[in-house]
A and B are shown apart, each in its own frame.
Chain A
Amino acid sequence: MKVLVLTSGRGTHPGLLATWREALGLVPEDELSVLSWHPPAARLPAEVHVLGPGDSLPGRVITKATRGRGISTRFGLAAATSRRVRALFRGMDLAVPMDTGSHKAAWLLARREAGPDVVVSPDAAARRLAARRGSAH
């Protein structure tokens, strides 16, 4: 399964990623990608896409245009207007926002792109993933 987690938090590290994998019930064959507003604290064993300050366009453009807004709004607009992110999102089986700051990004992407289940709590996401696995067999 291809799973995308979204986070607006700082300092994402490999230990946190391992916790998420466990919470979501991922198996080694599952591919985990991370869409983050902030750069991670260390190199992660996953495909990582950073949208916030310091990233290449269009995140920087959006950041400038929405200056004064909260991170969740800036993250949401940056994600929803990025072709790269939208293509990434389309190819997923499941997308899970891991904090409230990433809810808007997940919802705006879900409005624009068909494809993955978009589930807000890790427990519910794990159940959805298990159901997908069951129906795939």
Chain B
Amino acid sequence: MPPADGAPHLLYVAWGFPPCRAGGVYRALATANAFAEHGWRVTVLTATRETFLDYTGADLSLEAQIHPDIEVVRIPFTWPAMESDMRRWSPLRALAPRVWRRWRLRADVRDFPEVAYGPWRRPLEAAALRIHESDPVDLVVATANPNVDFTAADVLFQKHKVRYVMDYRDAWMLNVFDGDLLHLEGGREDLLERRLLAQAQEVWFVNDAIRAWHARRHPQLADRLHVVANGYDPEFAPDPQLTAKPVDEPLRFGYIGTASKKVPLAAFAAGWRLARQRSPWLAGATAELWGYLGFYSVPDPALLALVESYAADGLSFGGPVPKSQVKARYASFDVALLILGTGSYVTSGKVYEYTASALPIVAVHDPGNAATDVLREYPLWFPVRDLEPETIAAALERAAEAARTATPEVRTACRDFSLQYRRDLQLLPRVEALRALVTGEAAATEERQEPA
């Protein structure tokens, strides 16, 4: 839907926007595009391209996916700690690096309590005010991380009463990995977040565990807190496999993702060996790990050694998969392996992508992981109640049997289940509700049930 005359004007604030290639960029891209698709005039306020080319690495192909009607306003972002050009280093930095680092940390949080990003507050606020002055903004959606992005929304609210949405990719106060607080109760971050939350029109979270945590902490705001799950991007996700492969070919189990040391690979491998030795369904089967072993491009030696020690059992590591080949890689699997670390508040983006495959999914993770809530109703979901090899082996055997025997109807039900997690559908109810808010029109999806 092209923007019509009088279309509401959205200011979307995201430090990480294409060509940035960091993980959160897909959510940012999809959110801005969703508003543009649904008739909003969208201005994106982000950092200059050089920020990503110089500091984070860039994926230039992502820029082609920005909706053509979106106006992108880029402002400089300086990141002194990441400055690699030594000709720009001050004498203090070069000659007394420890003194410089202490000074830099203090300078970073002077305007906003966020190391590295705090100094962006003033330029961001000035840019937001300029944009509003030249083309009045009806709504701001500001996306963290970094949290400094919220300051653009705050300044337009303070000076012009422009309503805003806070979109969290993780959380500000909550450590999503262990459930502890990241900052002091009553400290600068806490007070700032409380003020921003109190003013916000809506606050979005990526899963219900994080939303519920905030609802308990801020019960007076509960009705403004929403889940906008990450979902999957159809253009990158696997195509659904609605038929089983020929019975004379051994099954291929597959994992695509980053297997850090928190991922229970050792437990999985032990369970895999047990299942493969005793189950006819797994005769000659292989388990392929694709992506990264550890957080770096070079595989973690300990994890690689673990995988190689199970080579005789059909376990292998295939390395990174370029985005353009992800679909083909999934198409070669008969069973998807979802091997995740523990984290009640963490939902791996892979979960949604896995459901799009319509394959049996063996969920090798602590049942308390937030992925359990996502997959609970998936027809070919094979979870484990603990990470004992026997338990994992039993789940692998049941999944292998399903890979051979699941009917096209069941696989179709898996495909249908996955549709709710298309990223655009996650966003649609909020986009329409906010349009109704700023235009006074009734929201088309107001009566629909929100997706998880």
B97 and A117 form a contact (CB under 8 A): no
A-side contacts of B89, CB under 8 Å: 107
Name the segment of B80-88, B343-351, B364-372 touching the other chain. Answer: B80-88
* B55, closest chain A residue (CB): A124
* B54, closest chain A residue (CB): A124
The contact of A110 among B54, B84, B86, B95, by CB within 8 Å, is B86
A-side contacts of B97, CB under 8 Å: 100, 103
Nearest chain B CB to A46's CB is how many angstroms away? 21
Produce 1/0 per residue, B87-98, CB < 8 A to A. Answer: 101000011010
A119 and B86 form a contact (CB under 8 A): yes
Q: Does A132 contact B (CB under 8 A)?
A: no
A110 and B87 form a contact (CB under 8 A): yes
Residues of A in contact with B, size category: 10 to 19
Produce 1/0 per residue, A20-58, CB < 8 A to B. Answer: 000000000000000000000000000000000000000
Q: Could you tell me the distance between the alpha carbons of A66 and B308 in the complex, rounded to whole angstroms?
A: 51
A117 and B85 form a contact (CB under 8 A): yes
Q: Does B22 contact A (CB under 8 A)?
A: no
Q: Which A100-124 residues have C-beta < 8 A from chain B? A: 100, 103-104, 106-108, 110, 117-121, 124
Q: Could you tell me the distance between the alpha carbons of A97 and B83 in the complex, rounded to whole angstroms?
A: 14
B-side contacts of A10, CB under 8 Å: none
Q: Does B126 contact A (CB under 8 A)?
A: no
Residues of B in contact with A, size category: 10 to 19
* A104, closest chain B residue (CB): B94
The contact of A118 among B53, B54, B86, by CB within 8 Å, is B86
A103 and B94 form a contact (CB under 8 A): yes
If A107-B89, A127-B53 touch, whether A121 touches B84 (CB-CB below 8 Å) is yes
Q: Could you tell me the distance between the alpha carbons of A120 and B95 in the complex, rounded to whole angstroms?
A: 15
B87 and A118 form a contact (CB under 8 A): yes
Q: Could you tell me the distance between the alpha carbons of A119 and B54 in the complex, rounded to whole angstroms?
A: 11
A-side contacts of B53, CB under 8 Å: 127
A118 and B85 form a contact (CB under 8 A): yes
B84 and A119 form a contact (CB under 8 A): yes
Tell me what chain B mostly uses at the interface: helix, strand, loop, or mixed. helix
Q: Could you tell me the distance between the alpha carbons of A118 and B126 in the complex, rounded to whole angstroms?
A: 33
A103 and B84 form a contact (CB under 8 A): no
B-side contacts of A97, CB under 8 Å: 86
Nearest chain A CB to B440's CB is how many angstroms away? 50
A-side contacts of B87, CB under 8 Å: 110, 117-118
Q: Could you tell me the distance between the alpha carbons of A133 and B40 in the complex, rounded to whole angstroms?
A: 43
Q: Could you tell me the distance between the alpha carbons of A100 and B53 in the complex, rounded to whole angstroms?
A: 24
A-side contacts of B83, CB under 8 Å: 120
Produce 1/0 per residue, A87-105, CB < 8 A to B. Answer: 0000000000100100110
Nearest chain B CB to A100's CB is how many angstroms away? 7
A-side contacts of B84, CB under 8 Å: 119-121, 124-125
A106 and B86 form a contact (CB under 8 A): yes
B86 and A103 form a contact (CB under 8 A): yes
The interface centre, meaning the residue of B53, B54, B86, B87 with most chain A CB atoms within 10 A of its CB, is B86
Produce 1/0 per residue, B58-99, CB < 8 A to A. Answer: 000000000000000000000000011111010000110100
List 8 contacting pairs A-B, 8 Å CB cutoff, sorted by A: A97-B86, A103-B86, A104-B95, A107-B94, A117-B85, A118-B87, A119-B84, A120-B83
Given contacts A107-B94, A117-B87, A124-B85, 18 further A-B contacts (CB under 8 A): A103-B94, A103-B97, A104-B94, A107-B86, A107-B89, A107-B95, A117-B85, A118-B85, A118-B86, A119-B84, A119-B85, A119-B86, A120-B83, A120-B86, A124-B54, A124-B84, A125-B84, A127-B53
